Structure 1
């Protein structure tokens, strides 16, 4: 009898301790915490990562951690295939830094080409969840005849680079592809160059080429696509 009573003492003591609720903030965090993919921004020709300031600021305001927003800068005079290899290294760096398994890629203009090369030819499709092209010369643009260097030659309609990139499936693998093109974008000619077979293709309001990554409506649509 005594031994049974002694064994029951710990249970009795535990039963007498009131169960305190978790702090409200902890309870809410446990239910609302969202793990977001890092976003790697890929700018266009003759530009750099600072072109994404407006869009990155909006992503931060909507809950993306600062270390999940990579405004990458690269040498735009190099071949897009060379840039794609550098992009592969950059995405691996971001994945290691954040512990994420996949990234989202948001591109402007020529940035679409190196990132598509990465997805199609360098095994990138397994590391990318969503891909975005804002005013990308996906089938070439006549304005590239006005600039020189390897990357400009590759942007010209009918280039070997574009013919190879667009052969077969234009949206390979599992990433969710989306494009945005403006009817008032005078940099992309012809206008239908942006859209890709197999992607979600959106025509924006009358926006200039450099307005696509700063426009709030385009941002909201991009955010919805990548989340």
Structure 2
């Protein structure tokens, strides 16, 4: 091969290698468009709103969403959780302090997620007390304009007749720690979430659903903690209320189990993205 052709071939090979190297570096440095508690995650055009996942009373973020968080990440979302309302940072049990204190922490976390991801709005998925907070915060703390959707799993919206809402911790194996928190610090949130409780009264005075926010409330007919079951529902325009058993009649899932049920996970994903809803394959959630 003549020297001129050798030089041209060498130059072309170098250009190809340089382009490949740059492409590899760009790909390696590109922020992921989905993930669970991955603070480098940047939402995709398909799912522009990152998810804020709110745990139940007596639980914590990583434990309560150990199933649903990764599931939603696999669906293409940037999902984030926190442990709010801890009586003491030394014990990983959340949600026991006053609803007002917890809601302030949640609002700050919403801002943190928006700032980290560059998103204008978040979608909120809440379970138990976290579901109540997902409805309470946008109305009472006034950040509805930063929320696109709310999916609330068994919120005690109108209060519950059952006082023992500290239940998620049992399922997560945190009961000794929960008992320690209750003995040392009490549970202001427990008193505020029963029928006639102060937080319930504040939420239910006037319309609950806020303009511009889409709401889905999912409950179970086998819930033994939020009773009567219908107290979860918001009977207002712009709100979809459904029982798990409307889709899967034989699913025995209880209150705590809602966060760990494959059926519920599919219902949550469909509620968040109804334009690409998939057929729900019925499963059996934990009956507690």
- Verify: 1:86 aligned to 2:117, yes or no: no
Report the secondary structure of 1:118's partner residue: helix
Report the secondary structure of 2:156's partner residue: coil
Q: How does 1:1-227 map to 2 (within 5 A)?
A: 34-49=46-61, 50-64=63-77, 68-74=78-84, 75=86, 76-144=95-163, 149-198=187-236, 199-205=239-245, 206-227=252-273
RMSD (Å) for aligned C-alpha atoms: 2.1
Q: Deviations over 1:134-164 (max 9, x none)?
A: 0111111122268752100111101232122
In the aligned structure 2, how far is the partner of 1:176 from the partner of 1:189?
24
* TM-score in terms of structure 2 length: 0.64
Deviation at 1:175, TM superposition (A): 0.8
Report the secondary structure of 1:143's partner residue: coil
Q: Deviations over 1:196-227 (max 9, x none)?
A: 12220011133111211222222122112223
Q: Deviations over 1:79-138 (max 9, x none)?
A: 111111111110000000001110010000011223322111222100000001101111
Structure 1 runs (4+) greater than 4 angstroms displaced = 145-148
In the aligned structure 2, how far is the partner of 1:34 from the partner of 1:132?
18
CA contact (8 A) 1:129 1:176 kept: yes
Alignment: residue pair count = 195
Identify unmatched segments of 5+ residues in structure 2: 1-43, 87-94, 167-185, 246-251, 274-288
Larger Rg: 1
Identify unmatched segments of 5+ residues in structure 1: 1-31
Deviation at 1:63, TM superposition (A): 1.7
